[in-house]
Structure 1
Amino acid sequence: MRLLDHPNVVSLKHCFFSTTEKDELYLNLVLEYVPETLHRVIKHYNKMNQRMPLIYVKLYMYQICRALAYIHGSIGVCHRDIKPQNLLVNPHTHQLKLCDFGSAKFW
């Protein structure tokens, strides 16, 4: 994740290991905070019985394509779990960020 440096990919701020009382080792990742997911934004519009404005649909699609072009072309990663829950959105700036690389593979 430290390799990822793009405005449409969530950034890793810090990582550290911790252990439990049972001596299980955990890797903890501290990621940048983005307040919403695309899933919740879509649910909000549905709840209001409205459609998302086309300008936002286009803006989000453009940013998704930019993120995928970056991870595929620049660092050779296949995300493998793209869904609205894994697309973070800042509701004030409408900047979208791809997150959750738990299923990702290098190719």
Structure 2
Amino acid sequence: MDLLKQLNEEMRSPIQQQQTQNHKTFPLTKPIFYGKEEEIGENNNSNLGQKSAEKDLQYADSKVIGNGSFGVVYRANLVHSNEDVAIKKVLQDKRFKNRELQIMRKLDHRNVVKLKYFFYSAGDKKEEVYLNLILEYVPETVYR
């Protein structure tokens, strides 16, 4: 669990999954979109200039909508906004540097899904750590 502890220290947020009714609650770190916070339901400008802000967020009704060699994608509903999101759960292999989070935090393009939040979670096996990217949900596929 050393990697999980290290990632948690970087986030400055403990990872505690709580089950409350049919909702899952995680301490999440919200990326700052440099002046676009109102698009994700927060008008608090006190976080501008900081790299991240911590927030508890609940999601419900998660179901698998896709999987691949790097992880699984779930469709879920954010309880506070009733917004559908995609949660991409990717195993963090300590042998490789995963740059997906770094890249997604910097991307802002109309043809790329937006990163809303992220969090780390522990797996079933010792030393398993997952990066969970909460992304804008796009119901269409490339085949429409």
Query: Which protein has the bigger helix share?
Result: 1
TM-score normalized by the length of structure 1: 0.35
When Rg is computed on C-alpha atoms for both structures, the one with the higher figure is: 1
Pick the structure with more strand per residue: 2
* Higher-RCO chain (CA-CA 8 Å, sequence separation at least 6): 1
